[in-house]
Amino acid sequence: RMFKRQMVCRRDIERFNRSFLAIYESLIPPEEEKEKQKQLLTMLEKLVNKEWPEARLFLYGSCANSFGVSKSDVDVCLAIEDGDTRKSEILLRLADILQSDNLQNVQALIRARVPIVKLMDPASGISCDICINNVLAVVNTKLLRDYAQIDVRLRQLAYIVKHWAKSRAVNETYHGTLSSYAYVLMCIHFLQQRRPAILPCLQRMEATYSVTVDGVQCAYFDQVEKLQGWGSRNRETIAELVWGFFYYWAYCHDYANTVASVRMGRTISKREKDWTRRVGNDRHLICIEDPFEVSHDLGRVVDKFSIRVLREEFERAADIMQHDSNPCGTLFQPYVP
Ligand code: CTP
Ligand code: MG
């Protein structure tokens, strides 16, 4: 393969692997941090239950999907029977309750796209966003966490890709680039495509977990402890996979005609989803299908300017992996406008 031809010797690959693994290790949150997050959740749940005894809190996002780096904000979902009460009313009441306790910087952002209450816990220094009844996010968080259990290379690759995206300023949905969630799905999709595959497609296996949330059926094989070692026939290392990931998104992905689908474990055609033209603000210039809300394209935030930025960054990264004698140094160089 080109990579192997270009990378002059085995020693180089091993050196690159060591550097990538060191970066990966340095980004993993320490156990104490996880412990503090759990304590905060328990404390919040007590406060919430005084007002709403039936309500429950769930972690979602990077603090629960196993792709969170150290010192990330904590995303919490308040699951509550809301009857006719408006979300904004619940959020304002929640903000009141939290304010009168020891929490700082409590703010209800009720006009945001996803309305939330923000707060900071002075005891731990942890910042936290609480949304209401975003149960699909809790379920897709579980899907990501379950995929991560199958092969450690997913977690390694996703950490490197997220770290790269943050360094290169292409992890900003408000600037038309992609969310962390989208990058993790791109990594899963990529590992499903390797030959031999490194990840299976859990949604096409016999469902051992099934819930219906907001009318969306979410079902997949979640007994992932039975799948450990599933991808071990493929012996590619993290340096090879980082190269392959960027090479795929720079030079191989068919942006004009295909959609990356973790749900199907392969690419599917844009035509079959009717994602071939712009509808409203959805331009579909890079298509990443949400595994459960299949009408959601995580690439919908990307516009004709940011698609160029993104693709140039993929090419830059692929070229660095191909030619640079110290890729780790160059890959994560902060983007300076
Ligand atoms: N999410 C979603 N649909 C989106 C974006 C996000 O359902 N279009 C949900 C997912 O459950 C995701 C969570 O919101 O795990 C948080 O999204 P994001 O901030 O992109 O990812 P994090 O994993 O929290 O990454 P970071 O470390 O950058 O905070
Ligand atoms: Mg987050």
The whole-chain average pLDDT of the chain stands at: 94
- Which of 70, 132, 180, 218 is the best mutation target for the ligand 1 pocket, counting ligand atoms within 8 Å of the beta carbon and taking the most? 180
Counting ligands in written order, which one lies closest to the CA of residue 187? 1
The residue contributing the CA closest to ligand 1 atom 16 is 61
22-29 contacts, C-beta under 8 A, 24 or more apart: 23/159, 23/160, 23/163, 23/328, 23/332, 24/155, 24/156, 24/159, 24/160, 24/238, 27/69, 27/70, 27/159, 27/163, 28/69, 28/70, 28/159, 29/68, 29/69, 29/70, 29/71, 29/72
Q: What is the mean pLDDT of residues 85-98?
A: 93
Spatial distance between the Cα atoms of 136 and 279, rounded to a whole number of angstroms: 24
Task: Say whether pLDDT at 113 is over 90.
Answer: no
Task: Say whether pLDDT at 30 is over 70.
Answer: yes
Counting ligands in written order, which one lies closest to the CA of residue 173? 1
Task: Say whether pLDDT at 3 is over 80.
Answer: no
Residue 11: what pLDDT?
Answer: 76
CA–centroid distance, residue 218 to ligand 1 (Å) = 18
Task: Say whether pLDDT at 79 is over 90.
Answer: yes
Residue 8: what pLDDT?
Answer: 47
Task: Say whether pLDDT at 7 is over 70.
Answer: no
CA–centroid distance, residue 31 to ligand 1 (Å) = 22
Task: Say whether pLDDT at 86 is over 90.
Answer: no
Task: Say whether pLDDT at 2 is over 70.
Answer: no
Task: Say whether pLDDT at 249 is over 70.
Answer: yes
Domains along the chain with CATH numbers = 2-26+151-331 (1.10.1410.10), 31-136 (3.30.460.10)
Q: Measured from the CB, is residue 140 less than 6 Å from ligand 1?
A: yes
Task: Say whether pLDDT at 130 is over 80.
Answer: yes
Spatial distance between the Cα atoms of 71 and 93, rounded to a whole number of angstroms: 28
Q: What is the mean pLDDT of residues 52-57?
A: 96
Residue 19: what pLDDT?
Answer: 96
Over the stretch 139-152, which tens digit does the pLDDT of each residue have? Answer: 999 999 999 999 99
- Cβ atoms 332, 164 nearer than 8 A: yes
Residue 261: what pLDDT?
Answer: 98
Residue entry with tokens 């997050």? 37
Residue entry with tokens 């919490």? 76
Bridge partner list, 279: 282
Residue 34: what pLDDT?
Answer: 93
- Please list, in sequence order, all residues whose beta carbon lies within 8 angstroms of the beta carbon of residue 19, skipping any fewer than 6 positions away: 326, 327, 328
CA–centroid distance, residue 8 to ligand 1 (Å) = 38
The residue contributing the CA closest to ligand 1 atom 6 is 181
Q: What is the mean pLDDT of residues 28-34?
A: 95
Counting ligands in written order, which one lies closest to the CA of residue 61? 1
Q: Measured from the CB, is residue 177 less than 6 Å from ligand 1?
A: no
CA–centroid distance, residue 95 to ligand 2 (Å) = 20
Interhelix angle 31-51/87-99, rounded to 10 degrees, is: 110
Spatial distance between the Cα atoms of 179 and 105, rounded to a whole number of angstroms: 25
Q: Give the pLDDT band (50/70/90) at residue 101.
A: confident
Percent of the chain residues topping a pLDDT of 70: 97
Counting ligands in written order, which one lies closest to the CA of residue 181? 1
CA–centroid distance, residue 252 to ligand 1 (Å) = 26
| Best CA proximity match to 17, nearest among 157, 154, 151, 147 | 157
Task: Say whether pLDDT at 5 is over 90.
Answer: no
CA–centroid distance, residue 233 to ligand 2 (Å) = 33
Q: Measured from the CB, is residue 159 less than 6 Å from ligand 1?
A: no
Counting ligands in written order, which one lies closest to the CA of residue 69? 1
Q: Measured from the CB, is residue 72 less than 6 Å from ligand 1?
A: yes
Q: Measured from the CB, is residue 193 less than 6 Å from ligand 1?
A: no
Q: What is the mean pLDDT of residues 289-307?
A: 96
Over the stretch 166-216, which tens digit does the pLDDT of each residue have? Answer: 999 999 999 999 999 999 999 999 999 999 999 999 999 999 999 999 999
The residue contributing the CA closest to ligand 1 atom 11 is 137
Q: What is the mean pLDDT of residues 23-40?
A: 95
Q: Measured from the CB, is residue 75 less than 6 Å from ligand 1?
A: yes
